[in-house]
Amino acid sequence: MNRFPHRKLLLAAVCAAFLGSAFAAPDAKIAALAAKEKPALLDTLKELVSIESGSRDLDGLEKISDLIAAKFKTLGGEVELIDPSADAYRMEDTPEKIGRVVRATFKGTGKKKILLIAHMDTVYTVGMINRQPFRIDGDKAYGLGIADDKQGVAVITHIVSMLQAMKFKEYGTLTVLINGDEEISSPGARSLITRMGSEHDAVLSFEGASIKEDKLSLATAGIASVTLNVTGKASHAGSAPELGVNALYELSHQILQMRDLSDPATGLKMNWTISKSGTNRNVIPASATAAADVRVLKVSDYDRIEQQVNERVKKQLIPEAKVELKFERRRPPLESSEASVAMARHAQQIYRDELGLPLGADDKAAGGGTDAAFAALKTKAPVVERFGLQGFGAHSADAEYVLVNSIEPRLYLGTRMVMDLARGK
């Protein structure tokens, strides 16, 4: 028998008061729509995954861009299919022809301009779909490119569907941008993404979150590459080595003198990762090549490291050798800003207070390069990454999946974010 029943009542009242002040009930209409859209989103994922769309597979990219364009046209968008090939930033591995960009524009009655971005291309080659067909196993939906980034395309599609179902048009412009060259450093779409980012009041990027830590990204590393090409002169290594110009010696010298350019204090990393020289054991090598991977956390660090490598390459071991250096800025870093932090905090509040779920967000650089960095390059508006589903196994041969139970929360969050941004919240 409880001798102090009033204490239980008091405790219950205090708890109820605390919970009432700390948590807001989810918007019932949005929650119901998210639940309704879940099976439709899974159907969309199956459609997207069933089309192979590697970054260099132009036929596949044409098919999937047609599918995506049709979906946004059905939702009432003004849709354009843009060929970005002519104005592409040309890197060593950039193909002549680049997959199309889908841009869908929805006009509203308000003033705010909101941009939603994702990519349709994958790292896979034609035929690999047989190893990763779409399937659902428990709480996991598997498929080719499903986590990176076909889920992002699907989530955006069904956020727009939910907004249309509610007849919500309080934004000025809602723009969707889906490109087909992200996995090859977005040589075609980068300038368009940068321009669109500068023209909008907020950018939400829908790369997926991790299954280990559900977390929005406010910062990611920038990626660059350094390529060295050394030309020497061949000669017999046994009978006349002095008549040759050893490209391998010069390459080795260059690598060694540029081995200490990393700067842990600023997060700048430069590491030589590939080298090749010569044709035969008994021939002085007439050519040699090497490549280095560069990572930076600030755009300004690109200028510094590029200047350093260009200065050091002038110091040759063998003056007769011809040394050529190429520095490519493959992706800028996504740098955190006060505006991005504020938008992420708002998303966290929605997730915590309305859904009762944790959502991480900090300015620690995480993951690889992202198109969100191009969107943030020339704007002070908020740009936040990883509004997509939780997943695992991106770029893997047979184990890429997303968590089915993350669909409704992400649809709810994305829809609420668009609505609050449109209303100036």
- Residue-wise pLDDT tens digits, 28-51: 999 999 999 999 999 999 999 999
Q: Which of 30, 71, 53, 69 is nearest to 143 (CA)?
A: 53
Q: Which of 258, 261, 254 is nearest to 322 (CA)?
A: 254
Residue 20 has pLDDT above 60, yes or no: no
Q: Using CA atoms, how far apart are residues 395 and 382, in angstroms rounded to an integer? A: 28
Residue 208 has pLDDT above 80, yes or no: yes
Q: For the residues 60-69, what does the mean pLDDT come to?
A: 98
Give yes or no: 170 in active site: no
Residue 23 has pLDDT above 70, yes or no: no
Q: For the residues 117-123, what does the mean pLDDT come to?
A: 98
- The amino acid that residue 141 corresponds to is A
Residue 340 has pLDDT above 70, yes or no: yes
Q: How far is CA 284 from CA 128, 280, 339, in A?
A: 42, 8, 58
Query: What's the pLDDT at 365?
Result: 83
Confidence label for 364 from pLDDT (cuts 50, 70 and 90): confident
Query: What's the pLDDT at 164?
Result: 98
The residue whose two tokens read 């449109």 is: 422
Give yes or no: 121 in active site: yes
Q: For the residues 153-171, what does the mean pLDDT come to?
A: 98
Query: What's the pLDDT at 21?
Result: 40
Handedness of CA 349, 353, 357, 358 (dihedral sign): positive
User: Are 144 and 128 contacting, i.e. CB atoms less than 8 angstroms apart?
Assistant: yes
- The amino acid that residue 91 corresponds to is M
Task: Choose the catalytic residue: 182, 214, 328, 408.
Answer: 182
Query: What's the pLDDT at 367?
Result: 57
Q: Which domains does the chain have, with CATH numbers?
A: 28-220+334-422 (3.40.630.10), 222-331 (3.30.70.360)
Residue 95 has pLDDT above 60, yes or no: yes
Q: Mean pLDDT score of the chain, rounded to an integer? A: 93
Q: Which of 290, 313, 312, 319 is nearest to 229 (CA)?
A: 290
Query: What's the pLDDT at 366?
Result: 66
User: Are 173 and 105 contacting, i.e. CB atoms less than 8 angstroms apart?
Assistant: yes
Residue 202 pairs with which residues in a beta bridge? 114
Tens-digit pLDDT profile for residues 243-286? 999 999 999 999 999 999 999 999 999 999 999 999 999 999 99
Residue 13 has pLDDT above 90, yes or no: no
User: Are 228 and 323 contacting, i.e. CB atoms less than 8 angstroms apart?
Assistant: yes
φ/ψ of residue 92, rounded to 5 = -60, -30
Task: Choose the catalytic residue: 52, 121, 183, 301.
Answer: 121
* Residue length of the chain: 425
Alpha helix segments (H runs only) across 316-406: 338-355, 371-376
Q: For the residues 344-359, what does the mean pLDDT come to?
A: 98
Tens-digit pLDDT profile for residues 395-411? 987 899 999 999 999 99
